Amino acid sequence: MSGSASAREFSRYLDAIVELTRQQDSQELLGALLGTLSKSVQARRVSMFALSNPDHDSDFNESNIQHAMVTDLFDAEFGEPRRLGDDPDLVASVCSGKVLSRETPGGRRVVFPIAGRRHVRALLVIEERGGESLPHDLLAKLLQVYSNQTMMLSRSELDPLTGLYNRQTFDDRIRRVAQRAAARRRAADGPVAAGICFALFDIDHFKQVNDQFGHLYGDEVLTLLARLMVQSFRHEDHLFRYGGEEFAVVLANADLAIAGAALERFRRTVEAFAFPQIGHKTVSIGFTALDAGQGVERAVMCADKALYYAKNHGRNQTHCYEALVAEGRLEPVTQTKGDVELF
């Protein structure tokens, strides 16, 4: 390779680093990476497969990874979760933590693992078609810069105790899910699966844990509950520690019936789980639909009313706001002043 070609590669590499490190938001960072790759890589297709919450798993190996789910982050509107085990190249790269490269009928397929806190958290897949691209070693280093920047930004987006999204990221995340649902509806030729539901829940009698066992045991309950959430909900659902012992879930592509079934399964999972030293705890859950034109503040108020109905009528229950209103057990929430429409 000529000196001028090497200089061009190095210049593109430095430009990419500058662009990645100037981003202050994880979604903007992802967009910057996609823009960089589109300029630097000659490819038929570029995909970024995110693994379902890998940093909550104890270990990755070829037996338990087969059932992990991945979603193409670059297919922002229509990417659907799929089984990692359906793609042997992805499995091999996750388990080895190394770049995988092989010839294909149309050129070459390269899989770059992207590290998380403890495990591979994503995989960049490039279907090369030839031409002048950044060499694989430079691309691997660029992805390490992206990974480092992602982990740095996540400190402001994630709750440090549970690893779930924190309250500060809630409004932004719920709007992104709503925008994606709206895009699906616009692009669909026929009926599509229903939109979005929002749930709030908290741990029943949590104060007793702190009072009787101390805050360290209380923190362990919160951490273990977060793990149960990760195991119980889908990758496309967004999980939050909403505050204290209160948690929230944004269920994507789910109507009230689907959401109610998923939330009730989760309630039973928590009820059956034995927390070390503590024993069994329960949660009370309230949920509502997020419809086009409905604002975030109103959705929170509706779910909150259903939650407190559950807590005031025996706890360890799952209640739907719309059902409670239809049955005359709750007064409907009126549109809140200053609320912002989702889309």
Same domain for 99 and 223? Answer: no
The answer to whether residues 41 and 120 belong to one domain is yes
Q: Last residue of some domain: 153, 183, 207? A: 153
CA distance between the termini of the chain: 51
Report yes or no on 160 lying in a domain.
no
50 and 181 housed in the same domain: no
CB 147, CB 133: distance < 8 Å: no
Q: What is the DSSP letter of 188?
A: -
Specify the pLDDT at position 41: 82
Kindly state whether residues 171 and 231 are assigned to the same domain.
Answer: yes
pLDDT value of position 286: 98
Q: Give the three-class secondary structure for 250.
A: strand
Q: Give domain status of residue 209, yes or no.
A: yes
Structure tokens at 338: 């200053």
- As separate numbers, helices (DSSP H) first and strands (DSSP E) second, the chain gives 10, 13
Choose one of 95, 121, 153: the last residue of a domain: 153
Element housing 206 (H / E): helix 206-213
Residues (pLDDT < 70) of the chain are 1-5, 52-67, 76-80, 130-134, 178-194, 292-294, 335-343
How do residues 259-286 score in pLDDT, each as one tens digit?
A: 999 999 999 999 999 999 999 999 999 9
- According to the model, what pLDDT value does residue 343 have? 42
Query: Does the residue 282 lie in any domain?
Result: yes
Let me know: does 296 contact 190? Beta carbons within 8 Å.
no
Assess whether 117 and 184 both reside in one domain.
no
Is residue 245 within 8 Å of residue 211, measured between CB atoms?
A: no
Note the pLDDT of residue 279: 96
What's the pLDDT tens digit per position in 182-193? 666 666 655 445
Distances in Å between the alpha carbon of 225 and those of 13, 28, 91, 308? 42, 30, 28, 20
Instruction: List the one residue out of 45, 93, 108 whose CA is nearest residue 72.
Output: 45
What's the pLDDT at 185? 64
**How many whole angstroms separate alpha carbon 137 and alpha carbon 197?**
43
- Residue 226's pLDDT is 95
Residue 27: give the domain boundaries: 3-153
Note whether residue 138 is domain-resident. yes
319 pairs with which residues across the strands? Answer: 286
Report if residue 62 sits inside a domain. Answer: yes
Same structural domain, 142 and 189: no
Q: Residues 177, 317: one domain?
A: yes
Number of structural domains found in the chain: 2
Regarding whether 58 and 24 lie in a shared domain, the answer is yes
Cα separation of 89 and 272, whole Å? 38
The Cα 279–Cα 209 span in angstroms is 10
**Same domain for 7 and 128?**
yes
**The pair of three-digit structure tokens given for residue 342, joined into one six-digit string:** 């989702």
Residue 202 domain flag? yes
Kindly list the catalytic residues: 245
> What is the structure's pLDDT at 54?
46
Q: What is the CATH number of the domain that holds 8?
A: 3.30.450.40
Let me know whether 16 and 85 are in one domain: yes
Verdict on whether the full-model pTM lies above 0.85: no
> What is the rounded CA–CA span in Å between residue 138 and residue 134?
6
Phi, psi torsion values for 143, nearest 5 degrees? -70, -30
Last residue of some domain: 128, 153, 178? 153
CATH code of residue 278: 3.30.70.270
For residue 297, count CB atoms less than 10 angstroms from its CB and return exposed for 0-12, middle for 13-18, buried for 19 or more.
Answer: middle
Q: What is the pLDDT of residue 30?
A: 86
Residue 208's φ and ψ, nearest 5 degrees, are: -65, -35
- Tell me how far apart the alpha carbons of residues 271 and 26 are, in angstroms, rounded to a whole number: 35
Asked, for residue 342, whether it belongs to a domain, the answer is no
Say if residue 178 is in the same domain as residue 299.
yes
Structure tokens belonging to residue 31: 């967009």
In a domain, 181, yes or no: yes
